[in-house]
Chains A and B, each alone.
Chain A
Amino acid sequence: MAYDLSRRTALRGMLNGAGVVVGVPLLNAFLDGNGEALAATGAAVPVRFGTWFWGLGVNPNRWFPTKPGKDFDLPPELEPIRPFKDKINVFGNFNVPLDGAPNLPHTSGGVAVRTGIALTADRGLPGQSFDVTIGDQIGTRSRFRSLDVSAIGDARNSLSGRGGGNLNPSEGSAVALYQRIFGTGFQDPNSASFTPDPVTMARRSVLSGVAEQRQALQAAVGAEDRQKLDQYYTSVRQLENQLDVQLTRPEPLQACAVPHGAPAELTASGEIETVMKNHKLMTDLLVMALACDQTRVFNMMFNNGASTLTRIGSTITHHQLTHEEVLDNRLGYQPNATYFLTRIMEAWTSFVAALDAVKEGSRTLLDNTVVFAHSETEFAKFHTIDNMPMMTAGSGGGRIATGHYVDGIGTPVTRVGLTLQQALGVPVDRWGSKSMETSKPIAEIVAG
């Protein structure tokens, strides 16, 4: 708290004049002092970042608070977050200007939020998503650079990637997620003994071999293929790094409790109860992956953009409902479409609760994490993307102030992405392209 004044002053400087550039290493210098250390080892508690996506937006008049600031109100559809209101920020009135690019339904909005770029054609991500940028900053010392999961069970359900049209695939099965985290290669940080696994050592040498052969290809490729090769070798480096971590004795972690076995297999489907169950299983695994420091970055996709969620016995999906269900004149909204939104907010709250239930020293795992939740449309019936619904939960080890409703007054949505990148140590002072380019982080939520 001692730095409050100087931090705010510095950020105001950024807001008011483009000439004032606050290098983020400076912010880091402030922040490192704030980190708490685990009593057991003296090692700093890692900070984590993740995203939580839901498709098809909200009913704006029933979701967005009306009173900006700390004492914000909770309209009916936001009511489920009440127990965690102090640990959550809600963002309204942040816009997605597309500079004349078409609004590709259910695609442009989510991509703009993550990359700061307006899509011109529907072919994957046009640039690096900022969760990947943050992962490159905070995720290099854990076994996985990122864990990406889809509760609706679709590998293509992803908004994360390094650009160039590619997407990091999502894991859709809780069983496979369990195997990936706690199966072969997992080192229990609290285990008394540690022996580097010879198989891991062998894998490590295979990868260095692959890396050594880079030049023969690189010398003969054109620009487009070179980019692809670079991405391939970035993946090789990440995997090498992951193996290096496995070959290093882990620090004991008080909060890490290894699950006793794989969950029962669920057949993936869009049926809402199945998705809720899968989300719960995946949340529990993800929370333990964070507590056991297997990853520091994650992407949870609850449903997809043009949501294929269904209810048993209904002839029509969530997406169809948002377009075809009549607005109930008495209620002022579409009751069947809204049913899904209610369940989604319930799932989001349970996700936040699961993070908050894990104690790390005097804080909780949620306190040491920033989760960025967002959708891809404002009001799905009309595919609107201005006033994009977004939230954050957790303070990232004291880097983010919480409990605010922030009114963006029509400024670009990229301000949220910029603020989060800066708070998590990414050296960036402007982000986004064309009308979405911004150098103005959101001062209210930058903690001092």
Chain B
Amino acid sequence: MKRSAKLAAALALLALPAAMAFAPVGPAAGADTAAAPAPAQAGQIVAMRRLTEAQYRNSIADIFGPDIRVSGRFEPIVRPVHEMIASGARRASISPTGLENFDAMARVIAAQVFDAQHRALFAPCAPADAKTADDRCAAQVLAPLGRYLFRRPLTLDEQAFYVRMAGAAAGKAGSFDKGLELALSAMLVSPNFLYVIERAEPDPANPGQLRLDNGTRATRLAMMLWNSAPNEALLKAAAEGRLTDQKQLEAAAAAMVSSPRFEQGLRAFFADMLLFEKFDELAKDPVVYPYFNQDVAQALPEQTLRTITDHLLTRNGDYRQLFTTSHTFMTRALGPVYQVPVHRAKGWEPYEFGPRDDRAGLIGQAGFLSLYSHSGRSSPTLRGRAIREVLMCQPVPNPPGNVNFTAVQDVHNKAMPTARIRLTAHNTDPVCAGCHKITDPVGLSLERFDGIGAWRASENDAPIDAGGMMDGVKFEGGAGLGKALSESPDTPICVASRALEYAVGKPPEDEALVERLVGDFAGSGYAIRALFLKVATMPETWRVTAPVLDNATHVSFAAPATMAGRTGR
């Protein structure tokens, strides 16, 4: 089996000395003081990024096989406003409820891994007695699994610890396998698995500065480009210290963006950039939109992602044409929404819109159009705002807290049948007009698509004027807007700075760096592989400013103040 071969190779590797030099700190439980690490010490943690649901699921599937079921609810990572979930992950802690769910998932996974059907894949040895502990065999099973899960070799202390835990449990349960199961559960709830832990070491090229170490590089490449745990090749490259070498780093990253697995990574990136978590809450009024149902809701993000990966990867297309392309994919559920025949009863088929459909790339898709609408009607303001904020990275201010909305008119008012007329009336108030001027002329060009993105020529029997304007340029309809977006310098800048943010876990602060990146992006003909390759190999993204080290004068197991109640038991 492929997996057991992979594990055997991993085992062989264990014999090598651990190349990563983070200081193993002995579990001196109860110690009241611990020396604060000296600045720029190797192994210093510079970021802890919580695994997203997709990263967790992909890691489990890659390490244990896609037939291992992951069932449970994931604590959502809060998205900071105008930022990515990748940035939120850097701040996300794990609440008691979140941990309870991770704990439940861990037990379900561990039980499957060591069940009769799977155990042979992961256990290269047999215990002396299946009913009792066998430390040697337990180490052979747990060390490679731990290495995949923690994305680095286990320290000797860690390995001894999990072997001990497996042994104690095997004794109690009268089963060697039960012991392994328990130790694996413990790894799966460990912060070493649930967080991507980024570590730094002194940068020889920049004395006094830090750079991310080899192990961290392997993980970042894997998470950024494949949205999963690093594979054997990456772990090996890290162990051999090859990822701090610019040439070898470039070779590794180039192979990764050319791999079919890059599609999984690109999907995750766009799901984050395009705020796909909003699809979880997408609901439409069934009386107003009888064609909208759960099947449609599930097909919408998939249609968008298929369009993106087809255009950017299969066709190797220019990113800017993502706003003009007429190519997409259809599935049965979407037929009624787009009013097009879908031949296949199941699955997806390619589809090309005609010029009169006025559907231009992503912004002409029902996914975008329905997400930025109300539950019972379209919204030029929400659409315009999303185009500004999500596709062009131009934050639009919130309505001020004290706005008087009385000028806004009734939607059923016969004198104001269309959104354009209602919004114009609303904008007689100069306080409102300031922001609506940024959003509405953009969004009004999409008014020929209703609240679920279906075509319409009129609203309340009045014909729709789909004239639009952005940054002084006038245009007509979705096609006009798509062309304007594809010609705007802000769309490639936006995706480039998002790619940087996605890799590093915080919005870029260095404008010159973004400019250089955009220059290279342009030079590649706006090819997405080139962009991600560049982000992954720019030395700047691997440098870190050292965080202020906590004055760790008090390291103990004493509960924080919030736990005071516990002693009262």
CB distance from B549 to the nearest CB of A (A): 6
B182 within 8 A of A: yes
Q: Which B residues between 51 and 74 are near A, CB-CB below 8 angstroms?
A: 73
Q: Which A residues between 26 and 71 are near B, CB-CB below 8 angstroms?
A: none
Binds A, one of B37-45, B131-139, B225-233: B37-45
| Given known A-B contacts A215-B25, A228-B92, A324-B405, A316 and B78 have beta carbons under 8 A apart | no
| Given known A-B contacts A169-B97, A219-B34, A235-B99, A326 and B410 have beta carbons under 8 A apart | yes
| Given known A-B contacts A155-B76, A228-B91, A312 and B402 have beta carbons under 8 A apart | no
CB distance from B179 to the nearest CB of A (A): 10
Report how far A128 CA is from B45 CA in the complex, Å. Answer: 26
B206 within 8 A of A: no
B93 within 8 A of A: yes
Residues of chain B within 8 A of A207, CB atoms compared = 103, 189
CB distance from A199 to the nearest CB of B (A): 8
Residues of chain B within 8 A of A244, CB atoms compared = 569
Residues of chain A within 8 A of B92, CB atoms compared = 165-166, 228
Q: Is the CB of A211 within 8 A of B157?
A: no
Report how far A202 CA is from B104 CA in the complex, Å. Answer: 12
CB distance from B209 to the nearest CB of A (A): 16
Residues of chain A within 8 A of B25, CB atoms compared = 215-216, 219-220
Q: Give per-residue flags for A310-330: 1 if the beta carbon is below 8 A from chain B beta carbons, else 0.
A: 101111110010011111000
| Given known A-B contacts A166-B92, A222-B45, A235-B99, A210 and B186 have beta carbons under 8 A apart | yes
B424 within 8 A of A: no
> Which of A122, A320, A384 is in CB contact (< 8 Å) with B374?
A320
Q: Is the CB of A165 within 8 A of B80?
A: yes
CB distance from B321 to the nearest CB of A (A): 34
Using CB atoms, name the residue of chain B closest to A270: B283
Q: Is the CB of A137 within 8 A of B550?
A: no
Residues of chain A within 8 A of B182, CB atoms compared = 202, 205-206
CB distance from B199 to the nearest CB of A (A): 7
Residues of chain B within 8 A of A9, CB atoms compared = none
A364 within 8 A of B: no
Q: Is the CB of A383 within 8 A of B401?
A: yes
Using CB atoms, name the residue of chain B closest to A155: B76
Residues of chain A within 8 A of B197, CB atoms compared = 217
Q: Give per-residue flags for B553-569: 1 if the beta carbon is below 8 A from chain A beta carbons, else 0.
A: 00101011011111011
Report how far A384 CA is from B80 CA in the complex, Å. Answer: 24
Q: Give per-residue flags for B396-414: 1 if the beta carbon is below 8 A from chain A beta carbons, else 0.
A: 0011111111101111000
Q: Which of B23, B81, B186, B286 has the most CB of A within 10 A?
A: B186
Q: Give per-residue flags for B366-380: 1 if the beta carbon is below 8 A from chain A beta carbons, else 0.
A: 000000001111000
B519 within 8 A of A: no
A265 within 8 A of B: no
Q: Is the CB of A383 within 8 A of B93?
A: no
Report how far A171 CA is from B29 CA in the complex, Å. Answer: 36
Residues of chain B within 8 A of A104, CB atoms compared = 398, 401
Residues of chain B within 8 A of A313, CB atoms compared = 285, 287-288
Residues of chain A within 8 A of B525, CB atoms compared = none
CB distance from B21 to the nearest CB of A (A): 12
Using CB atoms, name the residue of chain A closest to B547: A222
CB distance from B289 to the nearest CB of A (A): 10
Q: Is the CB of B76 within 8 A of A169?
A: yes
Report how far A442 CA is from B31 CA in the complex, Å. Answer: 44
Residues of chain A within 8 A of B194, CB atoms compared = 232
Q: Is the CB of A210 within 8 A of B93?
A: no
Q: Is the CB of A168 within 8 A of B45?
A: no
Report how far A405 CA is from B410 CA in the complex, Å. Answer: 36
CB distance from A437 to the nearest CB of B (A): 19
CB distance from B88 to the nearest CB of A (A): 8
Q: Is the CB of B95 within 8 A of A161?
A: yes
Using CB atoms, name the residue of chain B closest to A321: B411
Residues of chain A within 8 A of B100, CB atoms compared = 239, 242
What secondary structure prevails in chain B residues at the interface with A?
Answer: loop
Q: Which of A168, A171, A222, A384 has the most CB of B within 10 A?
A: A222
Residues of chain B within 8 A of A229, CB atoms compared = 48, 191
CB distance from B204 to the nearest CB of A (A): 21
Binds A, one of B161-169, B434-442, B465-473: B161-169
CB distance from A57 to the nearest CB of B (A): 13
Residues of chain A within 8 A of B23, CB atoms compared = 219-220
CB distance from A156 to the nearest CB of B (A): 6
Using CB atoms, name the residue of chain B closest to A427: B564
B205 within 8 A of A: no
CB distance from A10 to the nearest CB of B (A): 23
Q: Give per-residue flags for A123-145: 1 if the beta carbon is below 8 A from chain B beta carbons, else 0.
A: 11000100011001111110001
Q: Give per-residue flags for B123-145: 1 if the beta carbon is below 8 A from chain A beta carbons, else 0.
A: 00000000000000000000000
Q: Give per-residue flags for A378-398: 1 if the beta carbon is below 8 A from chain B beta carbons, else 0.
A: 000111110000000000000
B336 within 8 A of A: no
Q: Is the CB of A326 within 8 A of B406?
A: yes
A411 within 8 A of B: no
A440 within 8 A of B: no
A-B contact pairs, 25 of them (CB 8 A): A103-B401, A104-B398, A121-B81, A122-B80, A122-B81, A140-B565, A169-B76, A169-B95, A202-B173, A206-B103, A206-B185, A206-B186, A210-B186, A217-B191, A220-B43, A220-B45, A220-B199, A230-B560, A232-B93, A232-B94, A237-B559, A242-B100, A270-B283, A381-B405, A383-B399
Task: For the complex of A and B, list the 6 residue pairs with the smallest distance between their C-beta atoms, beginning with the closest.
Answer: A315-B376, A103-B401, A222-B547, A140-B565, A231-B93, A313-B287
- Taking beta carbons and an 8 Å cutoff, which residues of A are in contact with B? 102-105, 108, 121-124, 128, 132-133, 136-141, 145-146, 148, 154-156, 161-162, 164-169, 171, 176, 198-199, 202-203, 205-207, 209-232, 234-239, 241-242, 244, 267, 269-271, 308, 310, 312-317, 320, 323-327, 381-385
